[in-house]
């Protein structure tokens, strides 16, 4: 636990020190759960977005993109259910005056029991060595089964109480489990209340005519209300998808996990419109496709797991989360939901406009069903960044900090370093190399400090290649190229640089692994 906390602290300070993420309005002491992406962060974020867009839109001939406005007609949020039901159950601690999400307190309690299961597994693994069969162990070991049953009982009671709006029972559960305020240790709780997460604002200048609006809490509704426009103008045939990336806003109650839970964040969503009755096969398809996308980045198969929802939202007939192992444990990174025809039917009812599809093959009209994939761009950023930050022991006993970002996502692809900054010839050739490479790749020039220190700086920045220009370069047009992960150095021709870099950073090479 302590190690994970340390790792998380390192992630935060590294993100700031290397120009990835800053606290918003830091000179005014910041704004809680709002962050700015800095010079490197903005590139990493853009590369993640592009990687998603390419896989979802460009490579699928039946998926197109849109960019809907953040402001939407207020009735949208009545139809979607957000005005009435986009609530989190909150609870205050009377002594510390801190506010928590009641469901998160209970889930964190269960995560502690889960940690005990992990401990039993590790112990048994050690004892049995190669003969150890994890699946068999967790399905037969008495202690593990006991823990698992406890988790299941707690979570299903919570789910039932939340569904029935029985907030008194949620409080009773917190009291029965003797859950204490994680900061103060106090068990002196208020009642549980519902809290709507949407930010309100006003459109229009005069007080009388101003219209109450919301900042969108998800991008999905911009897709639903445009369903027919896109279908008609794009002559789309079912099954087809509409994808969108963009900002969403939620007045989160608990926002203490850096860019994991923000009040202003970015989503990458895709709504796939299908024929009713085919949702089970498409749910399976998108579950597999999305996991493959994640795995293509090579962050490690063991860091992902599916969490199928037992309790489903009233509009869904299947739902799963792709969870990622963040420094603070496995948490939701992406949601995949089979939403039936709920959204289109609701908008049809509230707008009075028909939102149906005429199927020429079947010669009939119907309201399509929808499969949604929804991932938080900032959470994906955190997954990639935290997983890549490594403290590596070297053979000579020293250590280095290296940010092993997937090369395709790295903000800067190569740093060009003249061995000696005072040598005009080396500087000139370095700049010529930059002039040539910058049309294809984001590259930087770095002449300060000894070359070893420059290598370390670029390692910590996540730059996959360092290209060093030295005296020999002037004689025979060759340079040294150093690889971030292996630290291997090769002497190569300047004219070959582009193809060497391309091999490692090309989106195609990465996405072909899917
Ligand atoms: P959580 O249970 O963590 O609050 P959610 O189930 O409400 O998430 P969805 O409404 O399904 O999330 O949103 C889809 C995705 O948007 C999530 O999987 C997550 O990656 C991202 N997301 C949601 N809320 C936030 C937030 N406050 N900050 C950053 N990303 C978020």
DSSP code string of 444-475: EE--SS-HHHHHHHHHHHT-SEEEEE-HHHHH
Tell me, in angstroms, the distance from the centre of ligand 1 to residue 255's CA.
12
**Count, residues in the chain:** 514
Task: Kindly report the protein residue whose alpha carbon is nearest to atom 26 of ligand 1.
Answer: 261
Residue 334 C-alpha to ligand 1 middle, in angstroms? 8
For residue 268 and ligand 1, the question of a CB distance below 6 A is answered with: no
Q: What's the gap in Å between 376 CA and the centre of ligand 1?
A: 6
333 annotated as ligand-binding: yes
For residue 101 and ligand 1, the question of a CB distance below 6 A is answered with no
In the beta sheet, which residues pair with residue 473? none
Report the separation in Å between the CA atom of 261 and the middle of ligand 1, taken as the mean of its atom positions: 7
Task: Flag whether 457 is marked binding.
Answer: no
Answer for the pair 246, 207: CB distance below 8 angstroms, yes or no.
Answer: no
Nearest partner of 511 among 62, 63, 52, judged by Cα = 52
Question: Which of 81, 260, 335, 370 to mutate for ligand 1's pocket (most ligand atoms within 8 Å of CB)?
Answer: 335
* 269 Cα to the center of ligand 1, angstroms: 11
Closest CA to ligand 1's atom 13: 374
* Residue 483: partners with Cβ closer than 8 Å, 6 or more residues away: 464, 465, 489
Stretch (H or E) spanning 428: helix 424-437
The atom of ligand 1 lying closest to the CA of 331 is: 3
Pair 252, 237: CB distance under 8 Å: no
With a 6 Å cutoff on the Cβ, whether 322 touches ligand 1 is: no
DSSP-derived letter for residue 397 is: S
- The token pair at 434 is 């930059």
Give the list of residues 6+ apart from residue 133 with CB closer than 8 angstroms, or none. none
Ligand 1 pocket member 407 (CB < 6 A): no
Q: Kindly state if the Cβ of 378 falls inside 6 Å of ligand 1.
A: yes
491 is in an annotated binding site: no
Position 2 scores a pLDDT of 45
Q: Give the span between the Cα atoms of 498 and 500, in whole angstroms.
A: 5
What pLDDT is attached to residue 210? 76
Residues 121 and 137: their CA atoms lie apart, in Å, by 8
323 lines ligand 1 (CB under 6 A): no
239: cis peptide before it, omega within 30°?
yes
Q: Where in the chain is the domain with CATH 3.30.930.10?
A: 1-73+198-401
- Residue 122: both structure tokens together: 């590790």
| pLDDT score recorded for residue 314 | 78
- Domain 1-73+198-401 falls in which CATH fold? BirA Bifunctional Protein; domain 2 (3.30.930)
Name the strand (E) or helix (H) holding 501. helix 497-505
Is residue 268 a known part of a binding site?
yes
Residue nearest to ligand 1 atom 23, measured at CA: 376
Q: What would the CATH number be for the domain defined by 412-511? A: 3.40.50.800
Mutate which of 267, 294, 331 for ligand 1 pocket (most atoms within 8 A of beta carbon): 267
Q: Whose CA is nearest to atom 21 of ligand 1?
A: 376
Pocket of ligand 1 contains residue 270 by CB under 6 Å: no
Q: For residue 388, say whether it is annotated as part of any ligand binding site.
A: no
pLDDT at 137: 92
The ranges of the chain annotated as CATH 3.40.50.800 are 412-511
Annotation-wise, does 379 bind a ligand?
yes
Between the CA of 241 and the centroid of ligand 1 the distance, in Å, is: 21
What residues contact 47, with CB distance under 8 A and at least 6 apart? 408, 409, 410, 411
267 lines ligand 1 (CB under 6 A): yes
- The reply to whether 198 sits in an annotated binding site is no
Both tokens assigned to 307: 């969490």
Classified as helix, coil or strand, 403 is strand
Task: Residue 33: name the closest of 254, 268, 334, 247 by CA.
Answer: 254
3-class secondary-structure state, position 83: helix
Mean pLDDT by 10 residues, the chain (514 residues): 77 97 96 96 98 98 98 96 91 93 94 93 91 90 95 94 92 97 94 94 79 94 98 96 98 87 97 97 98 97 94 86 95 97 97 95 95 98 98 93 98 97 95 97 96 97 98 97 97 98 96 89
CA distance 462 to 259: 19
Which residues are paired to 391 by β-bridges? Answer: 401
| Residue 467: half-sphere exposure toward Cβ, Cα within 13 Å | 30
Q: Is 235 annotated as a binding residue?
A: no
Distance CA 339, CA 223 (A): 14
Cα Rg of the chain, angstroms: 26
The CA-to-CA distance between both ends of the chain, in Å, stands at 33
On whether 376 is known to bind a ligand per the annotation, the reply is yes
Two tokens, residue 190:
């208020």
Residue spans of beta strands (DSSP E) within 93-191: 99-101
Ligand 1 atom at shortest distance from the alpha carbon of 337? 11
Ligand 1 atom closest to the CA of 250, numbered from 1: 27
Which atom belonging to ligand 1 lies closest to the Cα atom of 376?
A: 20
Residue 198 is classified by DSSP as P
Ligand 1 centroid to Cα of residue 103, in Å, is 15
Which one, of 225, 175, 168, lies nearest residue 191 by Cα?
168
Q: How far is the CA of 338 from the centre of ligand 1 (A)?
A: 16
pTM as predicted: 0.89
Q: What is the pLDDT of residue 3?
A: 65
The bridge status of strand 240-249 relative to strand 264-274 is antiparallel
Instruction: Answer yes or no: is 190 a known binding residue.
Output: no
Q: What is the dihedral of CA 441, 510, 46, 59, to 10 degrees?
A: 110
What is the spatial distance between Cα 225 and Cα 351, in angstroms, rounded to a whole number?
A: 10
Confirm or reject: Cβ of 35 under 6 Å from ligand 1.
no
SS3 489: strand
* 375 assigned binding-site residue: yes
Residue 486, burial from CB neighbour count under 10 angstroms (0-12, 13-18, 19+): exposed
278 annotated binding-site participant? no
Q: Is the CB of 262 under 6 A from ligand 1?
A: yes
**Is the Cβ atom of 252 under 6 angstroms away from ligand 1?**
yes
């Amino acid at each position: 636990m302590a190690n994970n906390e340390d790792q998380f602290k390192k992630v935060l300070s590294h993100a700031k020190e290397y120009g990835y993420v800053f606290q918003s309005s830091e000179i005014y002491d910041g704004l809680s759960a709002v962050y700015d992406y800095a010079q490197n962060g903005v590139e990493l974020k853009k590369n993640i977005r592009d990687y998603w867009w390419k896989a979802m839109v460009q490579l699928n001939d039946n998926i197109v993109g849109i960019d809907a406005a953040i402001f939407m007609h207020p009735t949208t949020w009545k139809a979607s259910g957000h005005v009435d039901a986009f609530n989190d159950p909150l609870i205050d601690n009377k002594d510390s005056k801190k506010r928590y999400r009641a469901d998160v307190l209970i889930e964190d309690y269960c995560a502690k029991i889960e940690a005990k299961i992990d401990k039993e597994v590790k112990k048994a693994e050690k004892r049995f060595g190669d003969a150890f069969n994890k699946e068999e162990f967790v399905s037969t070991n008495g202690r593990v089964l006991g823990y698992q049953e406890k988790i299941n009982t707690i979570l299903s009671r919570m789910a039932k109480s939340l569904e029935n709006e029985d907030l008194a029972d949620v409080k009773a559960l917190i009291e029965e489990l003797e859950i204490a305020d994680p900061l103060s240790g106090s068990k002196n709780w208020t009642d549980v209340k519902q809290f709507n997460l949407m930010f309100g604002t006003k459109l229009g200048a005069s007080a009388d005519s101003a219209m109450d609006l919301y900042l969108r809490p998800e991008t999905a509704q911009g897709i639903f209300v445009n369903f027919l426009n896109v279908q008609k103008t794009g002559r789309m045939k079912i099954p087809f998808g509409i994808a969108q990336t963009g900002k969403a806003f939620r007045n989160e109650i608990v926002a203490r996990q850096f860019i994991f839970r923000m009040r202003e964040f970015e989503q990458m969503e895709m709504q796939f419109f299908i024929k009713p009755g085919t949702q089970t096969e498409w749910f399976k398809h998108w579950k597999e496709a999305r996991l493959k996308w994640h795995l293509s980045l090579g962050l490690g198969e063991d860091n992902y797991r599916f969490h199928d929802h037992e309790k489903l939202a009233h509009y869904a007939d299947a739902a799963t989360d792709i969870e990622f192992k963040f420094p603070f444990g496995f948490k939701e990174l992406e949601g995949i939901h089979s939403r039936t025809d709920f959204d289109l039917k609701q908008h049809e009812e509230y707008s009075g406009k028909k939102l149906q599809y005429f199927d020429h093959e079947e010669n009939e009209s119907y309201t399509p069903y929808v499969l949604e994939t929804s991932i938080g761009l900032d959470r994906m950023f955190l997954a990639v960044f935290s997983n890549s930050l490594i403290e590596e022991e070297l053979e000579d006993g020293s250590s280095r900090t290296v940010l092993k970002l997937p090369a395709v996502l790295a903000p800067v692809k190569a740093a060009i370093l003249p061995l000696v900054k005072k040598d005009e010839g080396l500087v000139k050739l370095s700049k010529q190399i930059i002039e040539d490479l910058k049309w294809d790749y984001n590259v930087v020039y770095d002449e300060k400090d000894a070359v070893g220190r420059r290598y370390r700086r670029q390692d910590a920045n996540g730059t996959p290649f360092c290209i060093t220009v030295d005296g020999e370069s002037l004689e025979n047009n060759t340079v040294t190229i150093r690889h971030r992960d292996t630290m291997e150095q090769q002497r190569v021709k300047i004219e070959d640089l582009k193809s060497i870099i391309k091999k490692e950073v090309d989106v195609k090479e990465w996405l072909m692994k899917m």
